[in-house]
Amino acid sequence: MTDLSNSVSARVAALFACHFFGFGLFLPFFPLVLEFRGVSAAEIGFILGAGTIARIAASPLLSNIADRTDQRRLSILIYSIIGAGFISLFYLPGGLILAGTAMIGYMVIKAPILPLSDAYALDAARNTGADYARMRLWGSVGFVLANLAGGALAAESTAWLIVTLTVAASVATGFVVLSLPRQEKDRVDKQDVGKGAATPFAKFWFWPVLTLLGLFQATHAAFYGFGTLYWRSIDVPDFTIGLLWAVGVVAEIALFTIAGKLSLRFDPPVFLFAAGIAAIVRWGLFPFADSVIFMGALQVLHGLTFGAAHLGAVAILAKVVPPRWSGTGQGLLTASIGVQTAIGLAVSGALFQINPHMPFYLMAAAACAGSVALVFATPVIRRNIRLQDA
C-alpha cells in the first residue's frame, strides 16, 4: 500500500476501535448501570425495547441526512458529541425518566455512526487501495478490550468509570473523524452521473436482497439473547463462558485479517454462502455440544457466521449502491439486521421457555432458508454488480 493508504487505513481503524470500545461498554454493562440506579428489570426491558425500535428507525434516516448534505465526517462528529452528552446525563441524580432519556437518546444518535463509518471505509478502500477488512478488525479489538474493562469495573462503586469511559470513547470517535481526509466526492459524483447511475432503492429486487443480507446476521439472535443462559443452564462456568465468547471474536478478527486476499479470489455472494453453511452447522450442532472443546470449535465458526456475512453484505451494497448514497445503503442494512434480530429474539424467547434447544434449531432453519434463497438471488446480485462496474 502507499503511504496515503497506510495513513488513511490507520485513522479509519482508530475510528472503528473508538466506536466499538464505547459500544462494547454500553451493550453488556449499561443495563447493570441502570440496575445500580434502582431501575427495575421490567423498566430496563422497556427502555431497551423502546431504544431498539427507535435505533432501527434512526439508522437509515440519520445516515441519509449525512449523504444528502454530503457531510459524512461532520455528521459522525456531531452524532458522537451529542451521544457523549446523552450518556453524561448519568452523572446527574435522577430516576427512570432521566435514565431512559440517556439510554434511548444515546441509542438513537449513535445508530448511524457505524453505517457512516463503513461507508467512509469502503470509499477509502475504493479510492486509496486500503483493506476494508483490516480496518474493520480493529472495531472487534476495541469491543473485546471494552468487554475486559467493563468486566473489571462492573460494580456499583465503579459504575461511574464505565460511564466515563463510554463518554470518552464517544468524544474520541468524534476527534478521530476530524483527522480523516475529505473523500473525493466531486470525482465520485461525476462518475455516477457519467454512468447514469441511480440508487437501487426504488427497484423491486433491492428490498428482498436487503432482507436476505440482514437475515444472515439475524441468525445470531438466539445466541446473542440466550447463548449465555443456555450455557449456564448446562453448568458451564461463567469464566469459561467468557472465554467462549472471546474465541468467537478472535475467529472474527482472524477472518478480517485475511479477507482482503480472499476477496481477490471470491466475489461477495461466496462469502454469504460460506456464512450460511457455517450457520447451519453451528446452530444445528449447538445443542449437542457437550464439552468445552466442542463448544469452542463451534465458536470458531463465528468467524464465518458473523465475519463472512458482514463482509459479503457490505461489499454487495458497496457495489450496487452508488458511492454518493453508500451511507444510506449501509444504514438500511443496519435496519434490516435490527428488525429481523428483534423478531428472532422475541420468537427465541418464547421457544427457550418451551425447550432451550429450539431457538438454535430455528436459527439453523433460518440459515438454511437464507442459503436456498441466496441461490436464486445471486444471479440478480451479480447482474447489478456488473451494471455498476460497467
Range with the poorest average pLDDT among 195-209, 217-231, 348-362: 195-209
Q: Count H helices and E strands in the chain, helices first.
A: 17, 0
Contact 20, 33 (CB under 8 A): no
Range with the poorest average pLDDT among 135-144, 237-246, 275-284: 237-246
Range with the poorest average pLDDT among 57-61, 94-98, 295-299: 94-98
User: Taken in order 201, 206, 208, 209, is the CA torsion positive or negative?
Assistant: negative
Give the confidence band of 4 by pLDDT, cuts at 50, 70, 90.
low
Contact 170, 48 (CB under 8 A): no
If you write DSSP's letter for every residue of 225-268 in order, what string do you get?
Answer: HHHHHHHHHTT--HHHHHHHHHHHHHHHHHHHHHHHHHHTTS-H
On the CB side of 349, CA atoms within 13 Å amount to 6
- Give dist(CA 283, CA 364) in Å, integer: 5
Instruction: Return the residue matching grid coordinates 446473542.
Output: 224
Return the CATH number of 192-389, one of 1.20.1250.20, 1.10.10.10, 1.10.1740.10, 3.40.50.10800.
1.20.1250.20
Query: Averaged over 176-186, what is the pLDDT?
Result: 77
Return the percentage of the chain with pLDDT > 70, whole number.
94
Q: What are the cell numbers at 9? A: 487505513
pLDDT of 241 above 90: no
pLDDT of 115 above 50: yes
Range with the poorest average pLDDT among 83-87, 143-147, 368-372: 143-147
pLDDT of 153 above 70: yes
Query: Averaged over 190-217, what is the pLDDT?
Result: 78
Supply the pLDDT for residue 242.
78
Contact 67, 324 (CB under 8 A): yes
pLDDT of 3 above 80: no
- Give dist(CA 144, CA 71) in Å, integer: 30
The larger pLDDT score, comparing residue 126 to residue 163, is at 163
Averaged pLDDT of the chain:
88
- Give dist(CA 114, CA 340) in Å, integer: 18
Instruction: Return the residue matching grid coordinates 444471479.
Output: 379
Answer yes or no: same fold for 3-183 and 192-389.
yes
pLDDT of 195 above 50: no
Listed residue (210, 310, 295, 299) closest to 259, CA to CA: 310
pLDDT of 20 above 90: yes
- Cα-Cα-Cα-Cα torsion 99, 103, 109, 111, nearest 10 degrees, comes to -170
Domain ranges (residues) in the chain: 3-183, 192-389
Return the CATH number of 3-183, one of 1.20.1250.20, 3.30.460.80, 1.25.40.80, 1.10.150.170.
1.20.1250.20
Strands, DSSP E only, in 115-239?
A: none
On whether the pTM is more than 0.85, the answer is: no
The larger pLDDT score, comparing residue 132 to residue 195, is at 132
- Give dist(CA 216, CA 162) in Å, integer: 32
pLDDT of 45 above 60: yes
Contact 214, 339 (CB under 8 A): yes
Task: Give CA separation, 171 vs 84, 165, 178, 271, in Å.
Answer: 6, 10, 11, 34
Return the percentage of the chain with pLDDT > 90, whole number.
54
Per-residue model confidence as pLDDT tens digits over 118-149? 999 988 888 888 899 999 999 999 998 988 88
Supply the pLDDT for residue 246.
85
pLDDT of 388 above 70: no
Listed residue (37, 49, 143, 47) closest to 103, CA to CA: 47
Per DSSP, helices labelled H in 301-389 are 302, 309-320, 326-354, 358-389
